[in-house]
Amino acid sequence: MHYFARTNEQVAVINIPAVASTNTLIFTHRLQRLSLRSAAFLFGIGPDPDPFCVMHDYRTLEDLDHMGANFSPPWGAKFREAAKARGLTVRPLFPPRPRAAKGSSPTAVTNGSPKVVVPVPAGK
């Protein structure tokens, strides 16, 4: 078990040793995904059939490593609504990527950061 969330107690636990990796980037991405999943489950948001959504069911660490790193649009809306109902605001963890100039290669402009959202207290 990589994590569990107890919605009645509003507590989530991530099993760090079970998801640990010697590769820092992989380990960080696992923690980001599991943190988002845990928060969503605490908000009462269930699994998403979209394989690119962070809420898609998975069985192995390899599945976790290949799943999306963010919510699908419908699940993202559910997450933002649930956060707002709890007095939280959702903002990007990383600044938006700069847009490539018209006619240039879209791969020419990237900062290498995935778009991940985290709940934060409103007004922060």
Please name the residue that has the structure tokens 């107690």: 9
Q: Containing domain of residue 30, as a range?
A: 3-121
Distance CA 42, CA 39 (A): 5
Q: Distance from first CA to last CA of the chain, Å, rounded?
A: 34
Q: Return mean pLDDT, the chain.
A: 82
The token duo for 41 is 């489950």
User: Mind listing the pLDDT tens digit for each residue in 43-72?
Assistant: 999 999 998 899 999 999 999 999 888 899
Distance CA 35, CA 29 (A): 10
103 pLDDT tier (thresholds 50, 70, 90): low
User: Mind listing the pLDDT tens digit for each residue in 72-84?
Assistant: 999 999 999 999 9
Domain count, the chain: 1
100 pLDDT tier (thresholds 50, 70, 90): low
The whole-number average pLDDT for the span 114-123 is 52
The token duo for 96 is 């938006």
Q: What is the pLDDT of residue 109?
A: 43
Please name the residue that has the structure tokens 């990237």: 110
